[in-house]
A = this chain, B = another copy of it.
Amino acid sequence: MSAAVMSRRDLQFLLFEWLDVVSLTGHPYFAEHSAETFNGLLEVCESLAADYFAPHNRLSDEHEPRIGEDGKVVLPDEVAAAVAAFAKADLIAAQFDESLGGMQLPLSVFQACMAWFQAANTATTGYLFLTIAAANLLQAHGSPKQVGEWVRPMLAGELFGTMCLSEPDAGSSLADVSTRAVRAEDGTYRVTGTKMWISAGDHELGNILHLVLARTGGPGVKGLSLVAVPKVLTDGRRNELALVGLNHKMGARGTTNTLLAFDGAVGHLIGEENRGLQYMFHMMNEARIGVGLVAAALGQAGYRKSLEYATVRMQGGATLVEHPDVRRMLLAQKSYVEGSSALVLRCAHLVDRQRTGEDTSLLLDILTPVAKSWPSQWCLEANSLAIQVHGGYGYSREFDVEQHYRDNRLNPIHEGTHGIQALDLLGRKVVMRDGAAFRAFTAAARQTLARAAELDEFAAPLGRLLERLERVTALITEPEHAAVGRANATAYLEAFGHVVLAWTWLDLVIAAHGKDGPFYDGKRAAARYFYRYELPAAHAKLDLLAGHDRTTLDLDPQSL
């Protein structure tokens, strides 16, 4: 299929007409950039994604990583070529400081760049995504020596990163991490334990630096430190860590997923002892926004492909798109995936605005669990609709959409499950600083409402919903209701998510206001679809929450 995996026009709308990323260049940190450099880079990414990533997307699903006779992981050759092309275009370094050889590209623009690669081939892009995340963490918390030794080769595409958090018996509960790191006389550490679900945990693309969450102190999350463990030591010897096995997944098959055994491996402490989780969480916002971006990009790919299919495929004497129910399935996808893309880029833009000195951290904090969970849930649904538009063809592996659906099913699981995002939102972000982050959100939404005088079709229902959300939030966070509130945290996450998306869509409609043509009409139609077909579900969830429903809290597991 020759369909584009993303809409260039949509990315330009989001970046330039909506977020106005060019205004960032007024700040010294981004001053080297301009609309031209942004657009130029986006075009490069579109080309690279089409030339180096999309062509082997199915191949690396069908020929998933395996362990060769020499014990080394075998990937299709196309993976290394794609990674090299990405690195050669300086894209690994793009968002980093010039002092490290980076471009100081705004994260919002960089995420739009990444969207092309994630949509084209999320499995291969995974190696790069994880390396960028690791470099980012090291840049923030590593010593100057560590930055020099590791970040520079990472940005050059010579060293690859992983995040080693989960263990066979510790997934969502990081307090249970049992991998230990013991300080040796020379100041390095010896790491012993087993890490599970480690993406990109082994391959031959280059040396690997594992960022390992390991216990240096007592029990609980406070005894965890972050230790960097190279696969191959500087003297060329293999470190004491072994690939125990490859996990075989439903999707995202092209990214190696590994069970790793550390057996006294030499590691280097990042920052201070017992602050490992804090460092990880420092990077978690960006990692979670990144997961939201992957979900949105896969949603985009499925949407573009099913739209193209519906435009050419005849059925019952008409093209598919002429059937109203097919238009519904396409418009639903559009509302999910374009809304998700907007939310993710907005979050990245909040990071950029921090760069320019603005304090956007409260809003970013509260939006992050939504930016991770909402696209993961609804762009998966979009992929399901993309299959449905294709009919039987969509269920066959001759077409791409079934792979997007399988690939996307990962996103509600990793980097904090859906349920963990819900607890993060309601148990942490909503109540933090006496509700300051929550108020940052409602204030931002009200700013949008204040600019929506001529758009009462959207402003009125959003206004009502915001007020309800405030009342219900106050109600369920009262101490006597907190336990039942937490039991229904997922309902809260999903209701809150819908409100965030409704705000996002109104904001997009404002950016399209007074502009004519099918593109802008499409924005209005997708917003209308979202408000009319999807948003009312948020009220139902708020009803449930307001009733302090104890159905799940009180359920006797014996009756299941």
A402 at the interface (CB under 8 A from B): yes
A306 to B311, CA, bound (A): 41
Q: In the complex, are the beta carbons of B551 and A525 less than 8 A apart?
A: yes
Alpha-carbon gap, A556 to B517, bound state (A): 11
Which residues on B sit within 8 Å (CB–CB) of A326? 419
Q: Is A361 part of the binding interface, using a Cβ–Cβ cutoff of 8 Å?
A: no
State which residues 278-319 of A face B: CB under 8 Å.
Answer: 307, 311, 314-317
A236 at the interface (CB under 8 A from B): no
Complex: chain B residue closest to A547, CB-CB: B532
A330 interface residue, CB < 8 Å from B? yes
Q: Is A23 an interface residue (CB 8 A)?
A: no
Tell me if A316 and B175 are in contact (CB < 8 A).
yes
Q: Which chain A residues in 533-560 approach chain B with CB under 8 Å?
A: 533, 536-537, 539-540, 543-544, 547, 549, 551-553, 555-560
Which interface class (under 10, 10 to 19, 20 to 34, 35 or more) fits A? 35 or more
Q: How far is the CA of A550 from the CA of B322 in the complex (A)?
A: 14
**Which residues of A (402-426) have their CB < 8 Å from a CB of B?**
402, 405-406, 409-410, 412-414, 417-419, 422-423
Contact of A551 among B307, B331, B413, B418 (CB under 8 A): B331
- Cβ–Cβ contact B324 & A486, under 8 A: yes
A72 to B276, CA, bound (A): 59
Which of A43-51, A95-103, A390-398, A434-442 makes up part of the contact surface? Answer: A390-398
A384 contacts B by Cβ under 8 Å: yes
Whether B327 lies near A557 (C-beta < 8 A) is yes
Nearest residue, chain B, Cβ from A528: B551
* A481 within 8 Å of B (CB atoms): no
A247:B398 contact, CB within 8 angstroms? yes
In the bound complex, what is the Cα–Cα distance between A491 and B329 (angstroms)? 12
Contacts of A171 in B (CB 8 A): 315, 391-392
- A327 contacts B560, C-beta separation under 8 Å: yes
Q: Is the CB of A557 within 8 A of B322?
A: yes
CB atoms of A490 and B410 under 8 A apart = no
Per the bound structure, the CA–CA distance linking A317 and B220 in Å amounts to: 11
Q: Is the interface of A mostly helix, strand, loop or mixed?
A: helix
A271 lies within 8 A of chain B by Cβ: no
A331 proximity list for chain B (CB < 8 A): 551-552, 555, 560
Closest B-chain residue to A173, C-beta based?
A: B316
Residues of B within 8 A of A521 (CB): 556, 559
Whether A227 sits at the interface, judged by CB under 8 Å, is no
Which residues of B are found within 8 Å of A414, using beta-carbon distances? 392
Cα A405 to Cα B426 in complex, Å, equals 30
In angstroms, Cα B557 to Cα A405, docked, is 24
Q: A316-B172, A331-B555, A406-B406 are in contact. Are A392 and B413 (CB under 8 A)?
A: yes
Across the interface, do B543 and A176 meet the contact criterion of CB distance under 8 Å?
no
Instruction: Give the residues in chain B near A175, CB-CB below 8 Å.
Output: 316
Tell which of B248, B324, B533, B559 touches A396, judged by Cβ atoms closer than 8 Å.
Answer: B248
A328 at the interface (CB under 8 A from B): yes
Q: Name the B residues within 8 Å of A402 (CB-CB).
A: 249-250, 409
Which residue of B is nearest A316, CB measured? B173
Closest to A540 in B: B536
Q: Which of B330, B406, B410, B551 contacts A533 (CB 8 A)?
A: B551
> How would residues 253 to 275 of chain A score, 1 for a CB under 8 Å from any chain B CB and 0 otherwise?
00001000000000000000000
- Interface contact A392-B166, CB-CB below 8 Å: yes
What residues of B have a CB within 8 angstroms of the CB of A197 in the complex?
392
Given contacts A391-B171, A392-B171, contact A176 B551 (CB under 8 A): no
Name the CB-closest residue of B to A555: B327
Q: Are B384 and A324 in contact (CB under 8 A)?
A: no
Chain B residues with CB below 8 A from A559, complex form: 518-519, 521-522, 525
Q: Tell me if A410 and B391 are in contact (CB < 8 A).
A: no
Task: Check if A422 sits within 8 Å of B560, measured CB to CB.
Answer: no
Q: Among B249, B328, B395, point to the contact of A249 (Cβ < 8 A).
A: B395
A172 and B557 form a contact (CB under 8 A): no
Residues of B within 8 A of A330 (CB): 560
Cβ-closest chain B residue relative to A559: B522
Q: Which residues of B contact A555 (CB under 8 A)?
A: 327, 331, 525
Interface membership of A489, Cβ < 8 A = yes
Given contacts A307-B560, A331-B552, A555-B331, contact A417 B395 (CB under 8 A): no
Q: Does A334 contact B (CB under 8 A)?
A: yes
Please provide the chain A residues from 312 to 364 with a CB less than 8 Å away from any CB of chain B in the complex: 314-317, 321-331, 334
Indicate if A487 sits at the interface (CB-CB under 8 A). Answer: yes
B532 and A536 contacting across the interface, CB-CB below 8 Å = no
Sampled A-B contacts (14; CB under 8 Å): A197-B392, A247-B392, A248-B398, A249-B397, A321-B557, A325-B490, A326-B419, A334-B560, A388-B417, A525-B551, A529-B552, A532-B544, A533-B544, A539-B540
Given A402-B409, A522-B560, 11 additional A-B pairs, CB 8 A: A249-B395, A249-B397, A250-B395, A250-B406, A307-B560, A325-B552, A331-B560, A405-B409, A528-B551, A536-B540, A537-B537
Q: 3 closest pairs, A vs B, by CB? A: A173-B316, A522-B559, A536-B540
